[in-house]
Structure 1
Amino acid sequence: MTDLAPDAGYSRKNDKLKTALIQHDALSFAGLSERLFGLLFSGLVYPQIWEDPDVDMEAMQLTSAHRIVTIGSGGCNMLAYLSAGPNQIDVVDLNRHHVALNRLKLSAFLHLPSHGDVSRFFGEAGLASNVQAYDLFIAPKLDKAARDYWNGRDLIGRRRISVFSRNIYRTGLLGRFIGLGHLVARLHGVDPSELVQARSIREQRQFFDKRLAPLFDRPFVRWITARKSSLFGLGIPPQQFDELARLSEERSLSGVLRGRLEKLVCHFPLKENYFAWQAFARRYPQPHEGELPLYLQEGSRDAIRDGAERVTVHHANFTELLAGKPAASVDRYVLLDAQDWMNDEQLNNLWTEISRTAAPGAIVIFRTAAESSILDGRLSDTLLGQWEYDAARSQELCRKDRSAIYGGFHIYRKKP
């Protein structure tokens, strides 16, 4: 089913999101930083999810019997998982904008007439006809909460759905952060969009070494990457910043970000990495330029459409959703990087429910800003002892992650 659950509508103030983010007193520096991040994170953050679904699916080895619980974010990966035909997917997200976007994507696959219509709606996402397609095919089929959201108005009075007549990938917190990065680069004499003119990895490497890498030595860039708030647009909360900053004597993320950008630019051919296209061209590639995300490839459409009714989208957090499930009822868990935000109590509560609901052979996957798994030394021995960490496979798949933004990818399997 695709009904929004468990609540009938969206909390306009995103109270659940604030509860998850706020851990310190409002008058403390840490508390102020958390509240600023929460304010920015209460709007649309990720128009496109920034984790590589090919890596996820290699790790999970999905079959038609598997029941998945995943964080929604931009919804792309949930749709990619559907292409493997799993038995059931529960999508959870604390951000009401992400919930509405996931609902829209599912309804588009169910009700748009053809693959071409889906591809235009999400692959090009800048056509006036997309709004007409929404009004004609999607809106009548959406639940009331989702329909009210997309028919609602933004801060300057435009219908929210009109973002698909412009370019949704330039919006949201991440889209605007990428735009700001382009502006800073151009002010230093570099146009990042020129990267897509490269015709080989060698040319990509030359562009990075000569044009992009020197930017990270500029005083302004070093100064700004030492400010926690400057990186909130990447979805890096204060807790993640502190973890990454420990790697630098200057407590600046300049070196860390340069290394992550190097992977994005230099480790994969452009034609195979739509993340690089979004970062540098601000769009997906055209068919002659490169590959689209798995969910927008024509061969995936039928499986996604046929499986969309097996997805339920919840405006809830992971732990509370699992608390309502029977024991041994989930096969695969996708936590994205959410644990980087958690304190020890939240982390142990989450894994208590994961361990209770995990079916035999269950797999948990997640990402971390730093390279190491965050569970050692924080998760109780009783909980951690129920799981086996596949370090070698985790490192192998982390190297293959084309999104390149995370330091670690981690796979845990339930012990017999």
Structure 2
Amino acid sequence: MTDVAPDAGFRKNHKLKNALLQHKPLSRDGLSERLFELLFSGLVYAQIWEDPVVDMEAMELAEGHSIVAIGSGGCNMLAYLSRHPSRIDVVDLNPNHVALNRLKLAAFRHLPDHETVVRQFAGEKNRTNSRNFDRYIAANLDDWTRSYWNRRGLDGKRRITAFDHNFCRTGLLGRFIGAGHLVARLHGVDLTEITRTKSLREQRQFFDDRIAPLFEKPLIRWMTSRKSSLFGLGIPPQQYDELASLSEGGTIAPVLRHRLEKLTCHFPMKDNYFAWQAFARRYPKPHEGILPTYLQAENYPAIRANAQRVTVHHASFTELLASKPAGSVDRYILLDAQDWMNDDQLADLWTEITRTAAPGARVIFRTAAEKSVLDGRLADGLLSRWTYHAERSQELNKQDRSAIYGGFHIYERTA
């Protein structure tokens, strides 16, 4: 299922602009926000960077639940379908992500089998992917989404041909990771070598000997002291400031080092497809490790059967909730979107969440820093109706294989 098409003039992306821009254009913060908005207006995430296994455990996701989630790369929304929810409303302010989510849903519904789906989204070189789009998927898309993937770039190629290669190397984050590999090579480090390690001990040694020393290099310290250098990670100016507050010296290098240490050392490579994306710029082959949850064979039948239960909206979370009846939503997935919000936006969001929440509803979200963004910012009248599961949140944060966030948070409607 799909919602109406994104705004006809989506290149200007007014919805995203309204969410991001909070300072005057010619101020230092305003210029930083506008640069980020420009970069963020294209495809950012080919893969979502939140662990869906952690999400589903935190939500205690069960058959029949009604879900509202931010789309991003679409991987987690599809993973949730394996638990047979009654409905998922996916929202995203970025129309490129709207198109990607709709494409993935149509692929599960109309490609002939699981193997073909895996080739479509995890393959490295397969020219049949764009032909499969033409044969199986295109006619089953809404006009806007079909036009989006058929649109030609400056090189004359259709957008859909990106899937004939390694799609996960595309998008702002994919290019940023590629640039990170180049910087590491300039310092004599080939990050792909970690994929040949055989144990957590070897992974730890690789981090200590090869990766950790990079953060002491003048070029990397200089780069990480500038907000714009991390826009490729999808870190907006507001999140950068929050991260910088965690370390001394005006650089977030120590914070990034700590997060990368978790990604490198805390989970076996064979179990962590996030690490494969970071270090190999691809998914593992069958003998190397596991695929993302939504591409695992055991989940394919349920995802295919339930894909019609999803509607993808070009809208903000608050905007979508305002259209819903009271008490109609069981689970909310906010990713890290609240890190971007000012106090008024946060209050409006939680007013709608509280109004639409069914008894026992759960909200999950991540934060760049460790503490919840709600502390000291949400009115007592709203916050008192929710219980924060602090211990469970900390426990599951340690299990998040993506390793890039400081905090993971679970709130349950109890009043």
Q: How far did 1:167 drift?
A: 1.2
Match of residue 36 from structure 1? 35
Match of residue 310 from structure 1? 309
Post-superposition CA distance 1:249-302 (Å, at most 9, x none) = 212010000000000000000000000001011100001100001110111111
Q: Residues 191-340 of structure 1 correspond to what in structure 2 (within 5 A)? A: 191-340=190-339
The number of residues matched between the two structures is: 415
Q: How far did 1:139 drift?
A: 0.6
**8 Å contact kept, 1:10–1:145:** no
RMSD: 1.0
**8 Å contact kept, 2:269–2:289:** yes
Post-superposition CA distance 1:64-116 (Å, at most 9, x none) = 22000000000000000001110000000000100000000000000000001
Aligned equivalents of 2:407, 2:8: Cα separation in 1: 35
TM-score normalised by the chain length of structure 1: 0.98
Aligned equivalents of 2:238, 2:331: Cα separation in 1: 26
Match of residue 151 from structure 2? 152
2:335 maps to a residue whose letter is L
Match of residue 61 from structure 1? 60
Aligned equivalents of 2:8, 2:25: Cα separation in 1: 29
Q: How far did 1:15 drift?
A: 1.0
Q: Residues 126-145 of structure 1 correspond to what in structure 2 (within 5 A)? A: 126-145=125-144
Aligned equivalents of 2:77, 2:311: Cα separation in 1: 11
Which stretch of structure 1 is more off in the superposition, 8-17 or 368-377? 8-17
Post-superposition CA distance 1:192-242 (Å, at most 9, x none) = 011100010000000000000000001111110000000001111000000
State the SS of the aligned residue for 1:38.
Answer: helix
**8 Å contact kept, 2:5–2:144:** no
Aligned equivalents of 2:122, 2:60: Cα separation in 1: 26
**8 Å contact kept, 2:334–2:364:** yes
State the SS of the aligned residue for 1:362.
Answer: strand
Q: How far did 1:126 drift?
A: 2.9
Q: How far did 1:154 drift?
A: 2.1
Match of residue 404 from structure 2? 405
Aligned equivalents of 2:409, 2:239: Cα separation in 1: 16
Q: Residues 36-115 of structure 1 correspond to what in structure 2 (within 5 A)? A: 36-115=35-114
Which stretch of structure 1 is more off in the superposition, 358-367 or 377-386? 377-386
Q: How far did 1:8 drift?
A: 7.4
Aligned equivalents of 1:384, 1:251: Cα separation in 2: 33
Q: How far did 1:124 drift?
A: 1.1
1:400 maps to a residue whose letter is Q
Q: How far did 1:333 drift?
A: 0.2
1:278 maps to a residue whose letter is Q
Match of residue 187 from structure 1? 186
Q: How far did 1:156 drift?
A: 2.6
**8 Å contact kept, 2:109–2:307:** yes
Gaps of 5+ in 1: none
Match of residue 168 from structure 1? 167
Q: Identical aligned pairs, as a percentage?
A: 68
2:161 maps to a residue whose letter is S
Match of residue 117 from structure 2? 118
**8 Å contact kept, 2:195–2:276:** yes
Q: How far did 1:9 drift?
A: 5.8
TM-score normalised by the chain length of structure 2: 0.99
1:27 maps to a residue whose letter is L
Q: How far did 1:12 drift?
A: 2.8
Aligned equivalents of 1:28, 1:225: Cα separation in 2: 21
Post-superposition CA distance 1:360-413 (Å, at most 9, x none) = 000000000000001011111111111110000000000000000000000000
Sort the Cα spacing of 1:6 and 1:385 in 2 relative to 1 into closer, same or farther, 3 A: farther
Aligned equivalents of 1:219, 1:150: Cα separation in 2: 42
**8 Å contact kept, 1:53–1:80:** yes
State the SS of the aligned residue for 2:83.
Answer: coil
2:115 maps to a residue whose letter is G
**8 Å contact kept, 1:8–1:145:** no
Sort the Cα spacing of 1:247 and 1:80 in 2 relative to 1 into closer, same or farther, 3 A: same
